[in-house]
């Protein structure tokens, strides 16, 4: 996903913290999710609540994306939800990285000069663990590593944060859906607390989202993109969210999404990304958009 700057006023961050904590306290049953549920208004006036803000690849304006440093940067700024991207190494380990190649955000081209185009799936976990995933962003992040999904989950738990997990390029990693589910289960992320209020799994691949729902129907799922409204009813059988690029949205499309209920009986939600610079979280929520991935 492309990244632009969303203006998050202090009041929006305060609302995010308050609403997330209060909604968690109100959840009363396994099928009732502790998401931020707020009513939309006609205008983004003083009483309009802010949309939920999800830290895209961690706080990636303040630390190198998809690293543990970015998770901690989000935590320091009061951002409870973090988005990441998961792929698989040559020897079958799950790692957190956005691009399908290592070139842009690591020193793979320098360390392994003869192995272009440096695809993630062509390197072992041990080789990837040697890479510097921070220097490209700033000298003070030199030595930051590409984290395994296991390490990432542990850090989120330590910080008390929540995860919007994207399964990246699943066509390159057959069976990755089941592997992600196993990893989540191993690290306690399929218990009642995590499933109710701390985890959503998403992908651009509709097949992948459908597969995850079949494997763990209790887990909330999201489809990335803005599918034709004629497909929405079918997708609502296994997806709780439709998460498009902001520029793809129209009032008519949003209304069509919100008329439908997902597999857990709640109205479909929309978490938008690629939000224009200087857009406030309150004005986004006034349009009927529940969250922004920024």
Active site residues: 56, 98
Measuring CA to CA, which residue among 203, 204, 222 is closest to residue 263? Answer: 222
280: part of which helix (H) or strand (E)? strand 279-280
Structure token pair of residue 289: 């958009």
Whole-angstrom Cα distance, residue 71 to residue 212? Answer: 24
Whole-angstrom Cα distance, residue 128 to residue 139? Answer: 20
Whole-angstrom Cα distance, residue 32 to residue 196? Answer: 7
Partnered with residue 267 across adjacent β-strands are 261
Structure token pair of residue 109: 């081209």
255: part of which helix (H) or strand (E)? helix 251-258
Structure token pair of residue 124: 């072992």
DSSP state of 223: E
**Location of structure tokens 């999201």:** 222
């Amino acid at each position: 996903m492309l990244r632009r700057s969303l203006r998050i006023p202090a009041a929006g961050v305060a609302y995010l913290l308050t609403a997330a904590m209060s909604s968690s306290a109100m959840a009363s049953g396994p099928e009732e999710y502790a998401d931020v549920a707020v009513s939309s208004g006609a205008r983004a006036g003083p009483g309009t609540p802010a949309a939920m803000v999800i830290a895209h690849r961690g706080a990636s304006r303040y630390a190198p994306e998809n690293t543990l440093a970015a998770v901690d940067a989000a935590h320091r700024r009061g951002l409870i939800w973090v988005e990441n991207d998961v792929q698989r190494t040559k020897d079958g380990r799950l790692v957190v990285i956005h691009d399908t190649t290592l070139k842009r955000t690591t020193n793979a081209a320098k360390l392994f000069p003869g192995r272009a185009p440096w695809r993630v799936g062509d390197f072992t976990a041990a080789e990837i663990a040697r890479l510097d995933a921070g220097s490209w962003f700033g000298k003070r992040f030199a030595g930051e590593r590409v984290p395994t999904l296991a390490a990432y989950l542990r850090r989120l738990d330590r910080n008390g944060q929540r995860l919007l997990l994207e399964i990246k390029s699943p066509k390159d990693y057959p069976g990755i859906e089941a592997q992600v589910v196993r990893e989540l289960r191993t690290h306690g992320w399929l218990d009642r607390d995590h499933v109710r209020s701390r985890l959503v799994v998403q992908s651009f691949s509709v097949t992948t989202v459908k597969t995850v729902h079949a494997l763990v129907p209790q887990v909330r799922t999201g489809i990335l993109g803005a599918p034709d409204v004629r497909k929405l009813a079918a997708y609502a059988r296994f997806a709780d969210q439709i998460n498009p690029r902001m520029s793809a949205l129209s009032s008519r499309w949003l209304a069509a999404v919100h008329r439908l209920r997902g597999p857990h009986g709640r109205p479909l939600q929309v978490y938008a990304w690629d939000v224009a610079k200087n857009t406030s979280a309150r004005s986004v929520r006034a349009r009927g958009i529940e969250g922004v991935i920024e």
